[in-house]
């Protein structure tokens, strides 16, 4: 019984059968490279999607969103932006006075705002700035100004003492 079928660039996988196989309930009958094929098809679909929007459109939108986020985040008392080059990727690393980066990350997570907090595999440059960790929201073409506003609202509550940290 085949559990993988390819129809016009769409991959259908029998998820229950794969779970059973993973737990040793059935013997696998899918060639080892079949799953890599599904990954390649998925990557192809993602590339097609991004190309349909246009890389120049995505780059322009992400830069505009970065400018908006930078302006909004500068309104948060005690927030220090780390790395503010005018032409940079759409990520914002920051620290917040009185709060550890990991605590800020957890507080944002509880409010549904996804960020990374920690050293981001960049210890040498962080140490150059006298830091061990930062909070880092990454902005992409699927984010909106409303996402940035939600981030800033939580940070303002934390600084006003109305946010609860672990």
Residues with catalytic annotation?
121
Counting DSSP H helices and E strands in the chain, the numbers are 6, 6
What 3-state DSSP class applies to 96?
A: strand
Distance in angstroms (rounded) separating the CA atoms of residues 127 and 108: 24
In 3D, which of 60, 90, 92 has the Cα closest to residue 76?
92
Distance in angstroms (rounded) separating the CA atoms of residues 164 and 152: 15
Rg of the chain (C-alpha set): 21
CA-based end-to-end distance of the chain: 51
CB contact at 8 A, 138 and 91: yes
What 3-state DSSP class applies to 77?
A: coil
């Amino acid at each position: 019984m085949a559990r993988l079928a390819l129809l016009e660039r769409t991959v259908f996988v029998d998820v229950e059968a794969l779970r059973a196989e993973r737990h040793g309930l059935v013997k696998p009958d899918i060639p080892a490279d079949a799953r890599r094929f599904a990954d390649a098809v998925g990557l192809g679909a993602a590339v097609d999607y991004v190309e349909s929007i246009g890389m120049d459109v995505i780059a322009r939108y992400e830069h505009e969103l970065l400018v908006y986020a930078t302006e909004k985040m500068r309104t948060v008392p005690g927030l220090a932006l780390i790395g503010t080059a005018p032409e940079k990727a759409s990520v914002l690393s920051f620290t917040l006075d009185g709060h550890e980066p990991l605590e800020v990350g957890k507080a944002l997570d509880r409010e549904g705002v996804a960020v990374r907090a920690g050293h981001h595999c960049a210890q040498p440059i962080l140490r150059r700035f006298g830091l061990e960790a930062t909070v880092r929201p990454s902005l992409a073409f699927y984010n909106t100004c409303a996402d940035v506003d939600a981030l800033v609202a939580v940070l303002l509550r934390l600084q006003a003492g109305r946010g609860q940290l672990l």
